[in-house]
A and B are shown apart, each in its own frame.
Chain A
Amino acid sequence: MRSVAFVAFAALAALVAAPASAGDYPWQPTKPITIIVPWAAGGSTDQVTRVLAGELELALGQKVVVINQSGASGSIGKRNVWRAPHDGYTWAAGAPKMLGTYKLVGLFDTAIEDWLLYLDAVTPTLIGVNPDTPYQTMGELLDAMRARPGQVSVATAGVGSSGHTTIEAITQAMGLTYKNVSYDGGNPAVIATVAGETEVTTQLSTEQIEMARAGRLRILAVVADRPIEMVGLGVLPPITDWTGPIPNTLTHFGMFAPADLPAEVIRTFDMIWEERISSSQALNDYAEDRGTVFMAAFGDAAQEAVAPTVRADAWTLHAAGRTVMSPEELGIPKP
């Protein structure tokens, strides 16, 4: 395959490899580092994490092994990271916003402040429907939900996932109901919609874009407050055209570990993010191709970036009756 992407990738790999020296960082790992992806292999988190792992390998001069441990809305894999020694050798990857809501839905007793976040991308969700369904516009889909309460089936990656909070935010804003069908990850949820098992999916753009480009999904709207152009799909209308303002559901992605890592490990990763990740061409190209936005952040900036979505998700989930306590008990103010 002599595709442009491949040539570009190879050239980049060579380019990035040149200044690589593992000696500049205060922490030098002596054994391979493990990143646990709490979702199935091949999904969007898995892919971007493997690209990220390659960048980290170049920076640290040590192998970075990616393991998939899916299940229970991603909480099983993250719990295993928490249980492993807090030494910088075991990380989790994915959407850190869920760390802020696990405790609320009774999945995992943790708080987002207990984790150290390193972000690399921010992704919107899309409203995609199977092309055989009659819904041509977002308005028609909302009408159908009104006409058949609790009957329009929506595939998501489980409680608290981006797809789930998106559909909850929309239906709550409009006073509608729907049928929630959860899958093991964003990819299986999208495939179920392509296959016609469910009518709608509200998963991330990265997970839907390829099927949408091939005409196997019809994209009705992008969940944002302004139109967004995506390669191969043109300009997508924002959901707010139909719903008015709804809570923020932008999803940040990255890797994270317990916040009480040794100081030299934290300093090392801060430096890597500052110097390498924020200017990584490989990650940038990957992001553009997959319908997402490249964005590197760490430390307080990362926590601040994620906070609005956590707040919105927490109250959306609470209003949906899926929480075991009030977000206020966790100190999450009402937006």
Chain B
Amino acid sequence: MTEGLGYLAGALVEFAAPEPLFNVLWATLLGIAVGMLPGLTATLGVALMTTLTFRMGAQDAILILICMYVGAIYGGGRSAILLNIPGTPASAAATLDGFPLARAGRAGRAMGIATSGSVLGTLIGMVFLALLAPVLADFALAFGAFEFFWLALFGVVIAGRLTALGDPLKGWLAGFLGLLLAMVGQEGIHAYGRFSFGHADLAGGFGLLPALVGTFGFAEILSVMKNPAYDLVRGKVDSVIPRLREVLRYRWTIVRSGVIGTFMGLIPGVGEDMGAWVSYAAARRASKERERFGTGSIEGLMSAETGNSAAVPGAIIPVLTLAVPGSAPSAVLLAAMFIHGVRPGPLIMIEFPGFVYEVVAMILLASLAILLWGLLLTRPMLAVLRVPREKLMPVIFVLCTIGSFAIASRIFDVWVMLGFGLLGFVLREMKYPMAPLVLGIVLGDILDKSLRRGLVLSDGDPTPFLIRPISAVLAAVTVMTIVLGIPAVRRGAGRLLGRLAGGGSAN
């Protein structure tokens, strides 16, 4: 332990020089910009920087990549709050409460609180990384095909339930529609082009990014232009600096979301998106102001932003100790480490003992940088709200279009963006939430392969899906979420609880 502290102190001293600090500042800022712009994601940003930092030393390059990663996940929340368009898929949960807060004229406060959530979430994940990395990595290995199947299903069910509180049926329809849309194109085992009808582009499937940009970006543009005018409460720009009292008040939400986010980050393939959703769900269950969730709850926004940021160090844990990436951007980070001659894996503590603590120091610096930029940039960013929609929306649409195209240089992706935008607009007009749809597209591939792989492993026997310990827990939680989401059951359960408590106060 003391050895670790020594390494950490050494790393911090080494980084406390003008050049590394300068790198931290610009890389984090660039990350925030990449995260904010709809159409550019954390994965794209980290991949791009891997190429650009190729000839730097290992330490400088990885420092820049980690700052980029942390900054991008943080930045995605800014556009979610200000425009209702999540900059990266990880910030979809932040729109639920962030945008209502901004509409109520409290954007400054919302961004301040989101900043403190992100910083604290990153720090919590970092503490886990520093203290428990090898132990936690084995937790990631406990997730096999059976567990991934339930996790994917749980993600869609919980997102459907949380985004359509009054009417979970529509949330689930959106979620399962997302899963079904993810089936389009060549599947990963036999390369059969499902629902492609001989169309070459369809056989490639719908890209996640064009779908995200369409359902959130383009659909939002259409809704905004359709409505008579912004009914934005302007006026008092409240304090952008989060009050310590407020942070203390939500300390348990922060700690819980941080822990959940870290664990979600650990699990390969699900990453930051699920970190935000599961934290949000848990915060809502535990909250005293549950009814305000979804209408502008500080606590809700805090939990979502803490959860996705904590998932970043969480996702780095298996990268370092198993060479298994916990999320898409961390996969690129892993490749960058190999290229720079660091060999992450089970031997890292023996071969490169100082490196883990260097990464801890890098994450610490990145979180300080987002705190600094968060406080400095919040006020200028509020200016976005004062730009008339007629001037702002065409620019956002240009970004949506070029962002969709940029991923694979395919015009087809622009069509996908338009199609999903129109679908999203129509569904939104009929009160279907969009976040479960996008999460469904993210998780569809995992669900598909995990179910089939699980059946191969068990020779078609479904019992391992139900009796393996983690599977059983996930299955129970999924079923509970569905059952409690049915209004009649909820009323009945409420009555029963009320009677048990000896009064009629339970609702």
Contact = CB atoms under 8 A, between A and B. Distances in A.
**Does B bind A?**
yes
Interface in B52-72: 54-55, 57-59
Contacts of A75: 186, 191
Interface in B322-373: 322-325, 328, 331-332, 334-336, 338-343, 345-347, 351-352, 354-355, 358
Contacts of A184: 188, 449
A306 interface: no
A54 B59 contact: no
A57 B53 CA distance: 12
A187 B324 contact: yes
A195 B346 contact: no
Contacts of A318: none
A182 B345 contact: no
Contacts of B57: 6, 10
A226 interface: no
A65 B409 CA distance: 13
B347 A47 contact: no
Contacts of A195: 141-142, 144
A149 to B, nearest CB: 13
A214 B338 contact: no
A83 B408 CA distance: 12
17 contacts: A3-B342, A5-B341, A9-B58, A10-B58, A40-B331, A41-B328, A41-B334, A66-B47, A71-B191, A72-B188, A72-B189, A181-B453, A181-B456, A195-B144, A197-B457, A210-B343, A215-B346
B340 A9 contact: yes
Given A42-B334, A210-B346, A210-B347, A1 B191 contact: no
Contacts of A80: 204, 408
B346 A3 contact: no
Given A6-B58, A9-B341, A51-B339, A41 B332 contact: yes
Interface string A101-130: 000000110000000000000000000000
A197 B342 contact: no
B342 A41 contact: no
B186 A72 contact: yes
B437 interface: no
A76 to B, nearest CB: 6
Most A-side CB within 10 Å, residue of B191, B334, B449: B191
A57 B145 contact: no
B50 interface: yes
Contact of A42 (B190, B331, B352): B331
A211 interface: yes
Interface string A291-315: 0000000000000000000000000
Given A47-B339, A76-B186, A80-B204, A17 B55 contact: yes
Interface string A190-203: 01101111100000
A128 to B, nearest CB: 14
Interface of B: 47-48, 50-51, 54-55, 57-59, 141-142, 144-145, 186-191, 200, 204, 268, 322-325, 328, 331-332, 334-336, 338-343, 345-347, 351-352, 354-355, 358, 408-409, 449, 453, 456-457
B325 A72 contact: no
Interface in A37-80: 40-42, 46-47, 50-51, 53-54, 57, 63-73, 75-76, 80
Nearest to A17: B55
B51 A214 contact: no
B352 A181 contact: no
Interface of A: 1, 3, 5-6, 8-10, 13, 17, 40-42, 46-47, 50-51, 53-54, 57, 63-73, 75-76, 80, 83-84, 107-108, 153, 158-159, 179-184, 187, 191-192, 194-198, 210-211, 213-216, 289
A42 B144 contact: no
Given A8-B341, A63-B51, A72-B186, A214 B347 contact: yes
A136 B177 CA distance: 48
B323 A1 contact: no
B189 A182 contact: yes
Contacts of B339: 47, 50-51, 54
Given A13-B55, A76-B191, 20 more contacts: A1-B58, A6-B342, A10-B58, A41-B332, A50-B54, A50-B338, A54-B339, A65-B48, A72-B189, A158-B188, A179-B456, A181-B453, A181-B457, A184-B188, A187-B323, A194-B322, A198-B457, A210-B347, A211-B345, A216-B346
B351 to A, nearest CB: 8
Nearest to B146: A197
A130 B82 CA distance: 50
A72 B190 CA distance: 6
A107 B240 CA distance: 56
B449 A76 contact: no
Contacts of A46: 335
A223 to B, nearest CB: 22
Closest 8 CB pairs of A and B: A72-B191, A214-B346, A5-B341, A41-B331, A195-B141, A210-B345, A42-B334, A197-B144
Most A-side CB within 10 Å, residue of B47, B51, B325: B51
B189 A158 contact: yes
Contacts of A65: 48, 51
B408 A42 contact: no
A57 B346 contact: no
Contacts of B341: 3, 5-6, 8-9
Contact of B335 (A50, A64, A198): A50
Nearest to B342: A1
A104 to B, nearest CB: 13
Contact of B54 (A47, A57, A179): A57
A47 B335 contact: yes
Contacts of B51: 53, 63-66
B306 to A, nearest CB: 27
A1 B352 contact: yes
A255 B268 CA distance: 28
Contacts of B456: 179-181
Contacts of A3: 341-342, 351-352
